[in-house]
Structure 1
Amino acid sequence: MKRKIAAIFAADIAGYSRLVAEDEEETLRRLEAYREVVDDFIARAGGRIFNTAGDAVMAEFPSAVEAVRCAIDIQESLRTRNMAYPPSRQMSYRIGITIGDVVERDGDLLGDGVNIAARLEGLADVGGICISRAVHEQVANKLSVQFADMGPREVKNIPTPVHAYRVAMRREDGTYATEKAAPSGATRARIWRQTAAVVVFALIGGAVALSLNLSGAGSQRHDADAAKAASEALARLSAAPASPTPTTSPPAGPTAAQPGTPQQLAQPTPAPSSSSIAVEKFAPEAVPFVSERTRIALARDYVPAQAHKAFATTINGVSAYVTGQPTEEAAKSAALEQCQQRAETSNGPRKCELYAIDDSVVYPHSKPPLPPLPWVRHDPATERAFSAAEMPLVHDAGRAKLEANYGSGRRSKAVALGPGGQFFFSSGGDLVDDVVRRNLEACGAQAGTACMIVALDDAFVVPVPTVMKATGFFHAASHPAIAAEARDEVVRRLAASPSGWNAVAVGTAGHPGFGLNGDREETAIGGALADCSTQDTDCRVIAIGPFTVEPN
């Protein structure tokens, strides 16, 4: 391991899950194009990408100035590209940048610097940039842009507040957006009184709610006393002077201009934000990637153990946990080290990440996307022996890997496939359902979208076309070749035909034709073309089973 100081850049697409849900294929195509822009700007600025997951990008720069300049270039370039799309379909990054002490391990970076950059990214506006105070000090006099002081912010899993600044991005007319001015003294006083009144009314409501859950004279007296005290506090508040003198000044920028934020209560220490309070509690049954056996061990050994403890894992389920450590830092280091040692001997991804510290989930990524149940449908009409050479969407190198490792693998085993040709497989599992879940989770984490199980043990469990070439996943509700008014019918007809070979064809006007419940791929293709030709011209097959297709 090697320690160093670096400028850390974290970027993530705002609303990515919604964009994928609305039109998966178009979103993935645009993501690939936008990533080429991002990667090119990072390389030209002397940066190095050290981690990607789905739509996220993490990079390091030797200079904070180059990191911020690169971020501005990326946002302005993508803003221009987004002008070609309606607001609901625009794809915009949030970017966070900090300077921190990080640990380099096998090309990856770990440490608080990485975590803080990810949290700053979450504070950024859509299409915006958020930087730490350390970065601001480095770049304030070197770049011709404006900055808005957001003040200290409580962020998840970072023990001390992070002082953040927002970079003012350029408007369409070439000017730069400026932040709202801090409220005047009279306005702050009114905000303070209104916010405190809300707090008092919440106390009154809390006393009333508490009485619903407690019984006996003692609790009733407690409720009456609480309500009385709250009423007296409200009366004192109403009589308070119009301009209370704050013990600390609220920070400049939009935070101070928005009523009800903790800074406007003029407290010496800001109250925790909702993001710092809503910490996910560790639950073994919800841990992704790992086997059911590991979940049982976590419930038996990890959950009841006292602090300090930590649990780390890779997306292919290599994991380690430690308990009874002298400090939290010792627990984190030991869990990562043990996990990394095990990962080095595995065939899958070797990047270990902390999933939990003590009883709190600290995993920096969202849960991997999963398809709707059931995850596997057995249909004798379409199932056939697995062949790596016939694996859809996958490149030749991937097929060679499957040929060398999957075919000879021990049951239970499965292959999960993503719409862009990403795939993940494992063998030697104890439970079929467990193997299916873990492969879908690992594939989903890599692809950034839901994958499907295409092979289970030694058989394809979905219709895999061979007469035509699979090019992606078929989503009838959003496919552009189908007339908009006909998409619901396509969805309904396919849902009513869950077995056999199904094919969909369209003509120049987008009218669909169906070949459903066929006993062979050729039968479904012929039926779809014949049905389409009765209502449209120049018909072509666009889908077979779960795949979009084109001629071989």
Structure 2
Amino acid sequence: MKRKIAAIFAADIAGYSRLVAEDEEETLRRLASYREVIDDFIAKANGRIFNTAGDAVLAEFPSAVDAVRCAIDIQESLRTRNMAYPPSRQMSFRIGITIGDVVERNGDLLGDGVNIAARLEGLAEVGGICVSRAVHEQVANKLSVQFADIGEQEVKNIPTPVHAYMVAMRREDGTYSKPQLKKPASKLAAAPVWMWPLVVAVVSIVAIGVTGFLYNTKLKQTATAAVTPAATPSAAPSPTATQIAKAPMTPMAPNASAAMAPMPAPSPSASPISGKFAADSVPFINERVRNYLAGDYAAAGDYKAFALNIGGFTGSALNQANEEAARNAALDQCQKRADAAQSPRRCELYAVGNTVVYIHGKPPMPPQPWVRHDAMTERPFAPKDFPMVRDPQKVRLENMFVPAAKSRSVALGPGGQYFMVLGASSADDAARRSLESCGAIAGVACLVVAIDDNFVVPIPTLFRTTGFFNAASNASIVADARSDVVRKLADAMGWNAIAVGTAGRPGLGLKAADEQTAVNSALADCARRDSDCHVIAIGPFTVGPIN
């Protein structure tokens, strides 16, 4: 037998027995498909599967960083696959990870490290990841991941509590979930045997005393009630437990990076939309819904309401008994549609009657034209080259955007947020809706990156994209040269590149036929007025060296 320290990864399916009982053949078929995804991610992360049993997978990794990164990629990829199924038929894994001393025997691993990983998996949320304190200490400053400390947890067959952390999983809109905190374990010391008779006696005496007190109190209350009628309290009732549970939770703020960026706060200049309802001004919706609003909704009586969310899901109620009934019916219809599609956003009232009541204001939009077609820079859409997103998001684009019906569009935010619209009535409609939804998510104007089968902006391949480029505020360019760069870039078609040197003096390569030519021209132009020049932007993106 051989001992070693390893990062142990344990995963299994939540509710697997129920899934099998409902449809055994379909469940087993999908399990095989999902296992291919898991096995592939584990192999790419230098992991090794050392045991499987039914729906469970046990793997070892050379480092905790590799294990956690692999687990995140797996969960995000499987979440995308699950979107094709109703909630009751989704196949979601829980994953637990720890670092431990294990014994290797005939390729299998044994020991507390394996057992603890399995128990952490049981603590994880559905579709989530739970790690031990040792793993948290290893990865906290190495990955753009946020954790929720759930404290000491008592787990089966482990003599001492395990200090555990939940990983905050990224949602589809770029924000992060906030794991539900589990109560820390509180292990009471066992009382000596001789104390139990004393405890029983004390409890009995207290019980007798409380019973007598309550009985006497009840007699007094009954006598008082016979003389004085009960008073109706005038104070407003305190919030119920349900109301408290529904209070909004503050999102966890993830570490900033191009691929794992947080959702910025809504634009402070966006004031609530109010005034008279106009169908042409409603954001996020398709033309069919807009025609309905301009016709049936506009012509209906007073007690009506319209609700929406930023994903484009809507609900309406016409000819209701009163305003409250209209509000509730519209919100309920919208939310049911959003939940069925697993939209992460809640529905909100947009209009009550003919009055707009939407509290968020218009989403930030870029200036028109939203899309400028340029034969020199447009090329076929390839998910692997989509900028500023991680591999699981690229898989989602491959599985959803590529095969979808036209017209379709993807808009990208400066922090890596993106939103796709599929099957729109026109390319313009797809572009508008993707920009509106992406802008509402990001809090700033987004950029249309792809329409139908093509990238419609230059996509760098010689460098790594790190964000959006804004010459007017770019700190790498010396202040007195920024306005000149802005002027020269205006309406410059083709490939454009910007380079700067140690003094911040810019060099421009404009209107080139390809990326390499633009880069060479920018570096040569920079070298004429500065030293140690390097490229900082290509097209609309800031760039850095490929790692």
TM-score by length of 1: 0.52
Matches within 5 A, 1:214-363: 279-346=274-341, 348-363=343-358
The residue aligned with 1:181 is none
Question: Do 1:368 and 1:448's aligned partners in 2 also have CA atoms closer than 8 Å?
Answer: yes
The residue aligned with 1:392 is 387
CA RMSD of aligned residues (A): 4.0
Matched residues in 2 for 1:414 and 1:53: separation? 16
Aligned with 1:544 (options 510, 514, 538)? 538
Aligned with 2:443 (options 440, 444, 448)? 448
CA positional deviation for 1:351: 2.1
Aligned with 2:484 (options 480, 489, 492)? 489
The residue aligned with 2:198 is none
Matched residues in 1 for 2:451 and 2:539: separation? 17
Matched residues in 2 for 1:424 and 1:54: separation? 7
Alignment of 1:478 onto 2:473: yes
CA positional deviation for 1:332: 1.1
Change (3 A) 1:305 1:378: same
Local SS of the residue matching 2:340:
coil
Aligned partner letter, 2:290: R
Note the residue ranges of structure 2 that are not aligned, 5 or more in a row.
1-143, 152-167, 182-236, 251-270
Question: Do 1:422 and 1:443's aligned partners in 2 also have CA atoms closer than 8 Å?
Answer: yes
CA positional deviation for 1:304: 2.3
Aligned with 2:361 (options 357, 363, 366)? 366
Matched residues in 1 for 2:471 and 2:307: separation? 39
The residue aligned with 1:502 is 496
Local SS of the residue matching 2:411:
strand
Aligned with 2:514 (options 520, 524, 534)? 520
Local SS of the residue matching 1:410:
coil
Q: Report the count of equivalent residues.
A: 316
Pick which of 402-411 and 424-433 moved more. 424-433
Change (3 A) 1:54 1:390: closer
CA positional deviation for 1:346: 2.4
Aligned with 1:533 (options 510, 527, 530)? 527
CA positional deviation for 1:103: 6.1
CA deviation profile, 1:452-504 (whole Å, cap 9, x unmatched): 0000001000000011111000000000000000000110011151x110000
**Identity rate of aligned residues, in percent?**
49
CA deviation profile, 1:142-174 (whole Å, cap 9, x unmatched): xxxxxxxxxxxxxxxxxxxxxxxxxxxxxxxxx
Question: Do 2:174 and 2:417's aligned partners in 1 also have CA atoms closer than 8 Å?
Answer: no
Aligned partner letter, 2:431: V
Change (3 A) 1:109 1:542: same
Local SS of the residue matching 2:529:
coil
Local SS of the residue matching 2:518:
helix
CA positional deviation for 1:384: 0.3
Change (3 A) 1:457 1:279: closer
CA positional deviation for 1:438: 0.5
Local SS of the residue matching 1:344:
helix
Question: Do 2:173 and 2:418's aligned partners in 1 also have CA atoms closer than 8 Å?
Answer: no
Matches within 5 A, 1:161-180: none
Matches within 5 A, 1:40-439: 100=239, 109=247, 279-346=274-341, 348-439=343-434
CA deviation profile, 1:20-53 (whole Å, cap 9, x unmatched): xxxxxxxxxxxxxxxx9x9989x9xxxxx9xx99
Question: Do 2:365 and 2:435's aligned partners in 1 also have CA atoms closer than 8 Å?
Answer: yes
Matched residues in 2 for 1:104 and 1:382: separation? 53
Local SS of the residue matching 2:431:
helix
CA positional deviation for 1:344: 2.6
Change (3 A) 1:399 1:368: same
Which protein shows a greater Rg?
2
Matched residues in 2 for 1:422 and 1:455: separation? 14
Question: Do 1:53 and 1:445's aligned partners in 2 also have CA atoms closer than 8 Å?
Answer: no
Matched residues in 2 for 1:453 and 1:102: separation? 44
Question: Do 1:54 and 1:449's aligned partners in 2 also have CA atoms closer than 8 Å?
Answer: no
Local SS of the residue matching 2:525:
helix
Matched residues in 1 for 2:173 and 2:339: separation? 23
Question: Do 1:314 and 1:349's aligned partners in 2 also have CA atoms closer than 8 Å?
Answer: no
Question: Do 1:311 and 1:356's aligned partners in 2 also have CA atoms closer than 8 Å?
Answer: yes
Matched residues in 1 for 2:505 and 2:282: separation? 45
Question: Do 1:54 and 1:448's aligned partners in 2 also have CA atoms closer than 8 Å?
Answer: no
